[in-house]
Amino acid sequence: MVNRDTIFSVIVILLSIGAYIYVGDLTIESRFFPQVVSVLLIIFNVIHLIKNVRPRERKKMFRNIRFDRLIAMAVGLIVYTSAMVYIGFVLSSLIFMIFYMWYLNEERKSNGARVLLKSAILSIFVVGVFYGIFHNLFMIPLPVGLIFGG
Amino acid sequence: MRKLKFVGLLAMVVLLSMALVVGCTGGQKADEGDKAKDQEQTAEKPDFPTKPITYIIPFNPGGQSDVEARRQQPLLEEALGTKINITYKAGGGGAVGWTELIHTKPDGYTIAGINIPHIILQPIARENAGYTTEQINPVAIFQGTPIGLAVLKDSPFNTLEDFINYAKENPGKITVGGSGTWSGHHIALLQLQELAGIELTYVPSSGAAPSVTQFLGGHTDALFANSNDLVTHKDKIKILALGSEERFEALSDVPTFKELGYEMTPSIDRGVAVPPGTPEEIKSILEDAFIQIMENEAVREQMIEQGFVPLKMDAKAAQEHINKKQKEYSQLLEDLGLPEEKK
Amino acid sequence: MAEFLQYFAGAMGHIFNLSNFLLMTLGVAAGIVVGCLPGLTATMALAVLVPFTFTMDPATGLMTLGGIYVGAIYGGCISAILINTPGTPSAIATTFDGYPLTKKGKGEHALVAAAYSSGVGGVIGAILLMFLAPLLVKVALKFGPPEYFWLATFGLTIIATLSAKSLLKGVIGGTLGLLIATIGLAPIGGEMRYTFGFYQLQAGIELIVALIGFFCVPEILSMVEEVVTEKKEIQKFKSQKGVAREVIVKLTKQPFLLIRSAIIGCFVGIVPGAGGNVAGLVSYNEAVRWSKEPEKFGTGVVEGVAASESSNNAEVGGSLVPLLTLGIPGAPPAAVLMGALMLQGMRPGPDLFVQHGDITYTFLISLVIANIVMFVLGFYGAKYVARLINLPASFLAPMIAFMTIIGSYSIRNNMLDVFIMVGMGLLGYILRKLDFHPGPIVLGMILGPIAEKGLVQSMMLARSQGSILEVFFTRPISIVLIILCLISAFWPMISEWNKKRRGESQGVSSNG
């Protein structure tokens, strides 16, 4: 009875109730649409909940995958983005790219140093090219990082 | 031996990366360092600008603020001797861009286009617009777009009087389009309602262009529109009145609200501002550059042809104008009890 | 007509002037490159490159800008096909069949199909623009608030087609998208919703940020989590001879597919505010409905790619209709073009054809040529571009991740967007594991604001005119749209029922 679909629906129902209440003090023009949508969401998820209350065969969610790499990448994205705020675009991108090109490469177990070098060169090249295109050609200022006074 | 190789490589990688980082971002720091030194030495005339200036447009590209900025860009670059980079930060009717502005360093290297009455109305109407009107530090106001009331050619109304009389007898029946809620058009409608004692139904859109399209398609009975839109479509519409101080060249046979007895001058004015705390000397260098543009004959002619009123307000005049309008509008809103108190 | 021929001759002179032609081609190429990078849109490409055109004379400048626009809209399909990330929102529907094709090793097929359909669609759109603009604009103006509402609702019924496996999940996804789109400034009420103190959210969640998050990040994670043994076989692109010929012949045998998609695209384009995002999706939906083998869509058929790409390039022509005839841009890139026109001293509007006829016609005809140039570039480039998929995941995954970060930042120069992108990415990954397709969610996000504006404005009109029923249900275009909604929403059910019926009668006769 408690499976991923039912948990999902319960969460969404709670969120929708919250959404409905949150816009409560706005004018009717502003809150009409979000409230209608919240109600619809609640209705659909109640149906979904009822449909999935009965246990049934489900594919394993994380069947046969390399969980360690998955988590590493997911966490990596979060750390990369957070780091960018402090140390700037170029540094955080370099660290991210070099690390993951090295980490994801199967050959690093046998030839670690070489893989690291390859990753470094490629990363510096890619980051350099993109920085050039975005900063100099499109004139989009990329984050400099708080610790550098950005 | 293996380990040593690894460490050596790692060190090389780190050094190479640092070189890249310094190369890309260090350039900027170096400039700032020089500038600080210069400022200390020559207190009278700061060495400004020494690097490109960012001109924030708080709206989408292609919009009127963008067109103006692009008109000014080559002239500014010449007057100031540096590159001008136009960047877009649209959102919240301009609020996102203005909030960014007040948080940037007040060193004169970031300026932003501003719009009156937006910068006045948004902080009043919203709990948290991200900025307050007082934080906007104006440098110049160079363009006015008086707002006019228009109906289609086949409408039964021929004068403002016809319109108002019908409205008096049929409160709420006339639908009037405009660019949005708490926009210059909305205020114009509120002012007209109060001064004429009538009730209209305002149908806001999300921008001037959609409101014009809807009106041309006959979906609203009337429209509050900017002078340039009125000029573009003048052969399809009848303009009942215009919110300029005096009659406007490009629409010379349109009476002003004032001359018809309604004390209102609704208009969307465009200017530029810098973050609060920008040093006066730097501000006046920017101001001079804009004054040059405002006096440029070619620019003035182009503006009039497209339906804009060229203005020439320097920093002081601009601030006075903003203060005046702020008093006018906050008084109006207070009288009407708007925005509604939250329950 | 005589006038037209006169202009035509002049236009030919401008277009086939060598430097103009080269610049236009360069524009198309630049547009393709920008379009294929997720995060950089056609609008941005135009905005950045407009200043370069100041120094050119009007005809040259316009030709170049037109080339960029055409190229960018096509370019979006490249990343859509190769990494399941629409490079521009107009290419969303291209991912539905484009990426599965790449996974089957048929990336080149998809790219050639996209190039060919984009070219055909674009040419049709440009021709419709040239000859029917004044007529089309009359139709566009008839779209008032109720029509926008029904158009958006029609768009939402496409969810029925996209959620082959579970209609309920699709509907939930779409509704979630609707809710997400309410974040920010209320379009009519003018008040802030769900911004929680973040001033950057006043503008709401940027569509492209959500696209990159929902479509791309889950793919990066899938790439990374794959078990080594399978990796060698998947995505290996083998260069085959004659792919291009095969695809073109296949598509040419189905002219209705391309023509219908182009017409849909052009019409959606003329309605200001509907935008290219919707054109591809509507056209895809129709392609599924009209096909004899609808189940194949979504598994990787070139027809899916063709439907989407043909219509989004035709939409370019459509978006220029209200711009050139009324001075009202039909889509954001058209708005930038309008700015460029005004700076050249040409005011778009009814006078444009009269006062600047020769330049205007030059521009229009150059659009046709630009589409052909784009087809050639895409066609020949397809083979080489498709090979990029062969790079190992250890390189591709970080590289694509890097591009998503830089792309989502560039939209509004806003770090919060990057965080939102990552957040949506992880959410999208989980949703995918729960069998929710990102298509309906994104559809909800795109159509939500259009539906809301239409709904609330219509209710305001009704308030003044007295009758809600009258406003929503008695207008001619609304009625047409309502019928389309009903057909589209119930189509999957009707076709199921039809199939069963056919199956039963056959069963009876074979037994009897």
> Among residues C463, C408, B34, which one has the least CA distance to residue A77?
C408
Quote the longest CA-to-CA distance of chain A.
Answer: 66
Neighbouring chains of C at 3+ CB pairs under 8 Å are: A, B
A72 lies in some domain: yes
Q: Which of B71, B89, B209 sits opposite C329 (nearest CB)?
A: B209
The domain spans of chain C are: 2-236+246-505
Question: Could you tell me if A144 lies within 8 Å of chain B, comparing CB atoms?
Answer: yes
- Those residues with Cβ within 8 angstroms of residue C292's Cβ, 6 or more apart along the chain or in another chain: none
Would you say residue C303 has pLDDT above 50?
Answer: yes
Distance CA B262, CA B259 (A): 7
Would you say residue B26 has pLDDT above 80?
Answer: no
For A2-54, write each residue's pLDDT tens digit.
788 888 999 999 999 999 999 888 888 888 999 999 999 999 999 998 888 88
List CB contacts (< 8 A) between A140 and chain B: 87
| Interface contact flag, A113 B6, Cβ < 8 Å | yes
A12 lies in some domain: yes
Classify residue C509 by burial, with Cβ atoms within 10 Å: 0-12, 13-18, 19+: exposed
Q: Is the domain of A75 the same as that of A124?
A: yes
For B49-67, write each residue's pLDDT tens digit.
888 898 999 988 777 888 8
Q: Is the domain of A73 the same as that of A131?
A: yes
> Among residues C7, C321, C261, C313, which one has the least CA distance to residue C135?
C321
Q: Which helix (H) or strand (E) holds C490?
A: helix C476-511
DSSP letter for each residue of C221-289: HHHHHS-HHHHTTTTPPPP-TTHHHHHHHHHHT-HHHHHHHHHHHHHHHHSTTTHHHHHHHHHHHHHHH
Would you say residue C228 has pLDDT above 70?
Answer: no
The answer to whether residues B223 and B194 touch, using CB atoms and an 8 Å cutoff, is no
Considering only residues 86 to 105 of chain A, which have any Cβ-Cβ distance to chain B shorter than 8 Å? 88, 90-91, 94-95, 98
The domain spans of chain B are: 53-144+268-336, 146-251
List CB contacts (< 8 A) between A96 and chain C: 398, 401-402
Domain region containing A120: 67-137
The answer to whether residues B240 and B160 touch, using CB atoms and an 8 Å cutoff, is yes
Question: Could you tell me if C461 lies within 8 Å of chain B, comparing CB atoms?
Answer: yes
Would you say residue A117 has pLDDT above 60?
Answer: yes
A41 lies in some domain: yes
Instruction: Count up the domains in chain A and report the number.
Output: 2
Average pLDDT over residues B22-37: 42
Q: Which of C203, C338, C342 sits opposite B90 (nearest CB)?
A: C203
* pLDDT value of residue B38: 41
Residues A67-95 as b/e (b if ≥16 CB within 10 A, e otherwise) read eebbebbbebbeebbebbbebbbbbbbbb
**Per-residue confidence at B120, pLDDT binned at 50, 70, 90?**
very high
* pLDDT value of residue B87: 85
Distance CA A29, CA C191 (A): 9
Q: How far is CA C440 from CA A125, B308, C168, C297, in A?
A: 38, 44, 11, 16
Considering only residues 140 to 159 of chain C, which have any Cβ-Cβ distance to chain B shorter than 8 Å? 140-145
Q: Which of C142, C332, C342 sits opposite B217 (nearest CB)?
A: C142
* pLDDT value of residue B343: 38
**Per-residue confidence at C232, pLDDT binned at 50, 70, 90?**
very low
Would you say residue B34 has pLDDT above 50?
Answer: no
Q: Which of C186, C187, C199 sits opposite B128 (nearest CB)?
A: C199
Q: Closest residue of B to C51, CA-based? A: B70
**Per-residue confidence at C118, pLDDT binned at 50, 70, 90?**
very high
Would you say residue B342 has pLDDT above 70?
Answer: no
Average pLDDT over residues C444-458: 91
Neighbouring chains of A at 3+ CB pairs under 8 Å are: B, C
Would you say residue C325 has pLDDT above 80?
Answer: yes
For B205-255, write each residue's pLDDT tens digit.
888 888 888 899 899 999 999 998 898 888 889 999 999 888 888 888 899
The answer to whether residues C139 and C147 touch, using CB atoms and an 8 Å cutoff, is no
Residue type, B82: T
* pLDDT value of residue C505: 58
Distance CA A109, CA C272 (A): 57
Sign (positive or negative) of CA dihedral B62, B67, B73, B74: positive
Q: How far is CA B252 from CA B223, B226, B267, C132, C475, in A?
A: 19, 15, 17, 35, 38
Distance from the Cα of C460 to chain A's closest Cα (Å) equals 9
Gyration radius from chain C CA atoms: 23
> Among residues C294, C278, C291, which one has the least CA distance to residue C156?
C278
* pLDDT value of residue C136: 84
* pLDDT value of residue A149: 65
Q: How far is CA A48 from CA A40, A51, B82, C1, C177, in A?
A: 12, 5, 61, 61, 17
Q: Among B296-300, C138-142, C236-240, name the one with the lowest average pLDDT.
A: C236-240
Would you say residue C388 has pLDDT above 90?
Answer: no
Q: Closest residue of A to B83, CA-based? A: A139
| Interface contact flag, B130 C202, Cβ < 8 Å | yes
Q: Closest residue of C to B209, CA-based? A: C328
* pLDDT value of residue B6: 57
* pLDDT value of residue C83: 87
Average pLDDT over residues C112-125: 91
| Interface contact flag, C189 A19, Cβ < 8 Å | no
Q: Is the domain of A131 the same as that of A74?
A: yes
Q: Which of A90, A120, A149 sits opposite B24 (nearest CB)?
A: A90
* pLDDT value of residue C227: 65
Would you say residue B36 has pLDDT above 50?
Answer: no
Question: Could you tell me if B21 lies within 8 Å of chain A, comparing CB atoms?
Answer: yes
Question: Could you tell me if A128 lies within 8 Å of chain B, comparing CB atoms?
Answer: yes
A144 lies in some domain: no
| Interface contact flag, C228 A47, Cβ < 8 Å | no
- B53-144+268-336 CATH choice from 3.40.50.300, 3.30.420.130, 2.60.40.420, 3.40.190.150: 3.40.190.150
* pLDDT value of residue B13: 57
Q: Is the domain of A44 the same as that of A86?
A: no
* pLDDT value of residue B56: 92
The answer to whether residues C411 and C39 touch, using CB atoms and an 8 Å cutoff, is yes
Q: Among B137-146, C101-110, C318-327, C337-346, name the one with the lowest average pLDDT.
A: C337-346
* pLDDT value of residue C233: 46
Question: Which tokens sit at A48?
Answer: 């979904």
Question: Which tokens sit at C436?
Answer: 């929710």
DSSP letter for each residue of C369-400: HHHHHHHHHHHHHHHHHHGGGGS-HHHHHHHH
Would you say residue B17 has pLDDT above 70?
Answer: no
Would you say residue B124 has pLDDT above 70?
Answer: yes
A102 vs C227, which has greater pLDDT? A102
**Per-residue confidence at C95, pLDDT binned at 50, 70, 90?**
very high
Q: Closest residue of A to B11, CA-based? A: A117
For B241-285, write each residue's pLDDT tens digit.
999 888 888 888 899 999 998 989 999 999 999 999 999 999 999
A143 lies in some domain: no
DSSP letter for each residue of chain A: ---HHHHHHHHHHHHHHHHHHHTTTS-HHHHHHHHHHHHHHHHHHHHHHHHHSS------TTTT--HHHHHHHHHHHHHHHHHHHHH-HHHHHHHHHHHHHHHT-TTHHHHHHHHHHHHHHHHHHHHHHHHIIIIIIS-PPPP--GGGT-
Considering only residues 321 to 340 of chain B, which have any Cβ-Cβ distance to chain A shorter than 8 Å? 340
Average pLDDT over residues C446-454: 91
* pLDDT value of residue B35: 41
A73 lies in some domain: yes
Residue pairs between chains B and C whose CB atoms are closer than 8 Å: 151
Distance CA B95, CA B135 (A): 12
Would you say residue B130 has pLDDT above 90?
Answer: no
- Mean pLDDT for all residues in chain C: 84
Locus of tokens 């190369």: B23
Same fold, B53-144+268-336 and B146-251: yes
Domain covering B146-251: architecture: 3-Layer(aba) Sandwich (3.40)
Residue pairs between chains A and C whose CB atoms are closer than 8 Å: 164
* pLDDT value of residue A140: 75
Strand partners, C184: C193
Would you say residue C175 has pLDDT above 90?
Answer: yes
Q: Is the domain of A83 the same as that of A47?
A: no
B150 vs C164, which has greater pLDDT? B150
* pLDDT value of residue C498: 77
Question: Could you tell me if B87 lies within 8 Å of chain A, comparing CB atoms?
Answer: yes
**Per-residue confidence at B39, pLDDT binned at 50, 70, 90?**
very low
Distance from the Cα of C169 to chain A's closest Cα (Å) equals 8
Would you say residue C493 has pLDDT above 80?
Answer: no
Distance CA C127, CA C125 (A): 5
* pLDDT value of residue B167: 92
A49 vs A63, which has greater pLDDT? A49
List CB contacts (< 8 A) between A29 and chain C: 186, 188-189, 456, 460
Question: What percent of chain B is predicted at pLDDT more than 90?
Answer: 37
For C248-300, write each residue's pLDDT tens digit.
887 777 888 889 999 999 888 888 877 667 888 889 988 988 888 877 888 88
Average pLDDT over residues B193-199: 91
Average pLDDT over residues C191-217: 86
The answer to whether residues B293 and B79 touch, using CB atoms and an 8 Å cutoff, is yes
Q: Is the domain of A71 the same as that of A34?
A: no
Question: Could you tell me if C463 lies within 8 Å of chain A, comparing CB atoms?
Answer: no
List CB contacts (< 8 A) between A27 and chain B: 340
For C498-512, write each residue's pLDDT tens digit.
777 776 655 444 443
For C455-477, write each residue's pLDDT tens digit.
999 988 888 877 777 778 888 88
* pLDDT value of residue C419: 93
Highest mean pLDDT among A100-114, A129-143, B12-26, C444-458: C444-458
| Interface contact flag, B17 A94, Cβ < 8 Å | yes
* pLDDT value of residue B198: 92
Instruction: Report the predicted TM-score, pTM, of the whole model to 2 decimal places.
Output: 0.84
List CB contacts (< 8 A) between C191 and chain A: 26-27, 30
Sign (positive or negative) of CA dihedral C186, C189, C193, C197: positive
* pLDDT value of residue B4: 55
List CB contacts (< 8 A) between A145 and chain B: 25
